[in-house]
Amino acid sequence: MKNALFDLDGTLVHTLPDLTRALNLTRGEYGLAPITEQDVRLCIGNGVRRLVERAIPELPDSIDALLERQLFHYAAHSLDASVPYPGIPDLLRRLRDAGWKTAVVTNKAAAATRQLLDGLGISPLLDAIVGGGETTALKPDPEPLLLAAQRMGVTLDESDWMIGDHYTDLRAARLCGIQGCFCTYGYGQARGEPYACAIRSVAELDTLLLG
């Protein structure tokens, strides 16, 4: 049996417009000017608290209140414009048909993760979902990947994959002893973290996993 763990934002789903909308609604409540999608892209990758800290640096003493408002606004807008990257639902179906087990392992808050995956119809295509806050540490710590494996009922080994667009995914893969696949079409950076391969599109990912 083969196993594939996927990051969410910038890997399975294009979420940048809705993340930006929610952040600008939060910024607006505090009288701050809006920021661009490119600004937000640079803030993604280490969970929602770090997202807010990076995207609203003007108010470092108000992070808890800002985080509450960001979660509120994102819950209201997470499905406005977010869409799976072309080919993702079909790839997940074909992996299942080929006997693979699949999971999402993301630093996005668990409730937001479930809302997004349920709303896009992706949840039924997965064997496990692990979101931020379900383990004591976020990626790049391997703990979320190990929880996903437990929920999948598998033991991860060097034939398995962690697929993501950020160094956090690649480092977590290395620490788990599995292969890392870097999605260059996403939002993040490898930051010198080694990986087994890099792919530029979902079509290339399809070829990598299914031949």
State the catalytic residues.
7
Select from 119, 106, 97, 111 the least CA-distant residue to 145: 106
Nearest CA among 24, 42, 41 for reference residue 33: 24
Q: Are 42 and 54 in contact (CB under 8 A)?
A: yes
C-alpha separations of 142 from 1, 5, 32, 107, 189 in Å: 21, 12, 36, 12, 18
Q: Is the dihedral of CA 162, 166, 168, 170 positive or negative?
A: positive
